[in-house]
């Protein structure tokens, strides 16, 4: 398994852990604005990290376009 693939699985696991912990803390019900802010920031982190992981020409969809 390549390092990039491990990073992808780590991001998935962290996302699941974040959602489970937010569910246990009931942030979606009691602190809705904070919940949305956390999800917005997490989405931004995911976008930035995945863009860094897939620099131009290294994404799986680019390999199929040959």
Q: Is residue 66 part of a domain?
A: no
Q: Is residue 33 part of a domain?
A: yes
Do 20 and 58 contact (CB within 8 A), yes or no? Answer: no
pTM, rounded to two decimals: 0.75
Question: What domain range is 25 assigned to?
Answer: 3-56
Largest CA-CA distance found in the chain, in angstroms, rounded: 51
Q: What is the pLDDT of residue 62?
A: 57
Number of domains in the chain: 1
Which distant-in-sequence residues (6+ apart) come within 8 Å of 28 by Cβ?
22, 35
Q: Is residue 40 part of a domain?
A: yes
pLDDT in tens, 21-63: 999 999 888 999 999 999 999 999 999 998 988 886 566 665 5
């Amino acid at each position: 398994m390549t390092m990039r693939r491990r990073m992808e699985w780590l991001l998935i696991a962290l996302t699941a852990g974040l959602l489970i912990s937010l569910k246990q803390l009931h942030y979606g019900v009691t602190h809705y604005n904070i919940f949305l802010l956390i999800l917005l920031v997490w989405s931004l982190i995911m976008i930035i990290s995945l863009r860094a992981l897939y620099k131009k020409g290294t994404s799986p969809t680019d390999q199929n376009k040959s």
